[in-house]
Chains A and B, each alone.
Chain A
Amino acid sequence: MIGVISYLVFFTTVAAILSIAVLGLNLQWGNTGLFNGGVVASFGAGAYGTLILGGAPQESHFGGFGLAYPLALLGGMIFAGLLAWVVGVLTLRLRHDYLAIATFGVAVAFENVARNAIWLTGGAQGVRGFERPLRAELGDGFLYNLIFLVAVLIALWLVFLFLQRLTVSPFGRMLRAIREDETAARSLGKAPDRVRLTAFVTGSVIMGLSGGLYGTFYAFISPQDVLPILTFQIWAMLIVGGAGNNAGAIFGTFLIWGAWTFSGWALARFAPIEAQLYTGSIQFVLIGFVIVGMLLWRPQGLFPERLVVSQPGANRDKPQAEGLT
């Protein structure tokens, strides 16, 4: 019984941490229409930043500044934001898919540096020497995990509230206006590039928070945690939940993370031993089918955005009408 509860706590903690990242992506894609192909870079920046800033000094790699935990976490978030800012400044004024390519590139380069710059990131060994906050007081047991879960849920709730407020604020309306019709928004005197940059950086800072919490939870981060598949997983969670809907995004996260862990367990348990090597491939194909299938059959997700300005269907004839106005 305790085993089940403790597993549920573990599962909920990870799902809640990932939910925060999905909410960050929802701000970028769902509300603003920005394609971030390198979610792992923001996530990883938050995790590496937090652990390097907050850890104990290390012989083997840079960092170990031993900053107070809130400062370390904040530093990780700022690092994620800075990275996003650089990419955003360079690409947001160009054709929209440049951002997709550049962010994808950041993720590749990030993993590459994490793996190779041993002096900076500890290389494949990862960042060591990080102690979870309040460990001395709470120990390593179930109690710690339970309190950590509460803290994560509070963080998730705060991010959710912040984004809900943002959605109905004038800024949120502006985001949707720009997403729906950039030319119109521009003619109304809005500066779409700057508004989009703000939304992009804010979304990445939120992903940085998620990464920071993830690193804290495991007290460890390595290149294995910033593999491209994480980007795909987070995207699948958002599209299943319904882009534009924050509550749906959280639900989608729990659903996909549940399905992911369950399929991993089921494959490990029931698949023949020769097939075990291919567990990952099978799971990856499933994630790919979730993404493509949702786009084809239910692009609005299981829980569509309620605040709709105009239907995407209004563009139905765009390929023909383009350039004619």
Chain B
Amino acid sequence: MIQHLVDGILVGSFLSLGAIGLTMVMHILRFANFSHAELLSIGAYSALVFDKVFQVLLPFSAAKIGPLSMTWALALSVVLAMAFTGASAMLMDRLVFKRVRARGDELSMVFASFGMALIVRNVIGLVFGLSSQLYSKDIVFAMVISRDPLLLVKPDQIFVFGAALLLMLGLHLLLSRTTFGFALRAVAENPVLAQVHGVNLQRMITAVWVIGGSLGAVAGVFYGLSYQITPVMGRDLVLPIFAATIVGGLGSVYGAVFGGFLVGIASNLALVILPSGYSPSVPFLMILAVLVLRPYGLFGEARP
């Protein structure tokens, strides 16, 4: 039980990071982006490539960081993957979403994101192969935190959790302390008024994609560190991330963080009562429960 809870918090760390970007895009651009989870794949795979490059160019960077399975090369790669994924998200907007948006139909954006997800996922499969990959083949042993009840935690898990919290804190400071953050929130609330006050809408939209993409990249790498990297990871993550945003309430960054952890924990705790094959359905059940009990989510406001 306690093991499921701890595992759930770990899953929650990367779900939250994914959900933050999605909720911002859904709030500011007003469409459900089904291709958001593919940004996690792009992040995970680009980090894999950068990691290989670093290991060749700077052999000493292949050393592990302390007790983690993560190497210095991978740590550097995450930063580059954030930039690359942010740029990819920006590019997807320029090439597709911006043009569909110009016609003013929000549901066509949903539709376009469906198509984009299919393209990105399968192009990744074509480039990197359909089988799964790992950042490190070395086995890292879990630390025994307690024997009764049995609780095992890997050093990587603690790192992932801590790094996720740190990123969220950074985003919180950005949104609550800087005028750039105020501008982002202003655009989310009232784009016209924000423009009246000199906020460049296009620049803010770009910023949202870059933030969403780079947080997604970190989420993707953390997912890859915890499990494995596969071309279908986006497909498997899209529903849990949507569930996190809906549970937290659309547009609420704090809601997305909370929702991510809640979905992660619930999906793992559900394993106590449900056979493991059903865990993909848990996010859907949570969406249904929230829609019945509190349609605008735990932190959300009615904004039809």
Contact = CB atoms under 8 A, between A and B. Distances in A.
Nearest to A317: B104
A292 B120 CA distance: 12
B118 A108 contact: no
A277 B112 CA distance: 27
Interface in A77-124: 90-91, 93-98, 100-102, 104-106, 108-109, 112-113, 115-116
B277 A116 contact: yes
A292 B192 contact: no
Contacts of B291: 90-91, 94, 98, 102
B150 interface: no
Interface residues of B, number: 58
Contacts of A109: 280-281, 284-285
Contact of B284 (A95, A106, A287): A106
A296 interface: yes
B105 A281 contact: no
B192 to A, nearest CB: 6
A278 interface: yes
A291 B114 contact: yes
B34 A296 contact: no
A321 B102 CA distance: 13
B114 A235 contact: yes
Interface in B69-111: 96, 99-108, 110-111
A272 interface: no
B59 interface: no
Interface stretch (A1-9, A128-136, A138-146, A308-316): A308-316
B283 A94 contact: no
Given A91-B291, A97-B31, A285 B104 contact: no
B191 A322 contact: yes
A151 B250 CA distance: 47
Secondary structure at the B interface, as helix, strand, loop or mixed, is: helix
Given A105-B242, A316-B103, A323 B111 contact: no
Contacts of A55: none
A105 B285 CA distance: 9
B191 A319 contact: yes
B186 interface: no
A156 B291 CA distance: 35
A37 interface: yes
Interface string B179-208: 000000000001110010000010000000
Interface residues of A, number: 54
A289 to B, nearest CB: 6
A101 B26 CA distance: 12
B235 A228 contact: yes
A11 interface: no
B287 interface: yes
A312 B103 contact: yes
A292 B122 CA distance: 14
A281 B105 CA distance: 29
B279 to A, nearest CB: 9
Contact of A313 (B103, B121, B246, B303): B103
Contacts of B110: 35, 37, 97, 100
A15 B122 CA distance: 25
Contact of B277 (A96, A100, A112): A112
A315 B105 contact: yes
B68 interface: no
A316 B250 CA distance: 25
17 contacts: A35-B107, A37-B34, A97-B31, A100-B34, A101-B242, A105-B284, A108-B239, A109-B281, A116-B275, A235-B114, A288-B118, A288-B122, A292-B119, A296-B96, A296-B100, A319-B101, A323-B190
Given A96-B107, A278-B125, 20 more contacts: A33-B107, A35-B107, A90-B291, A95-B303, A97-B107, A100-B110, A102-B287, A102-B291, A105-B284, A105-B288, A116-B275, A232-B118, A289-B115, A296-B112, A299-B108, A313-B103, A318-B104, A319-B101, A319-B104, A324-B192
Interface of B: 26, 31-32, 34, 96, 99-108, 110-112, 114-119, 121-123, 125-126, 130, 190-192, 195, 201, 235, 238-239, 242-243, 246, 250, 275, 277-278, 280-281, 283-285, 287-288, 291-292, 295-296, 303-304
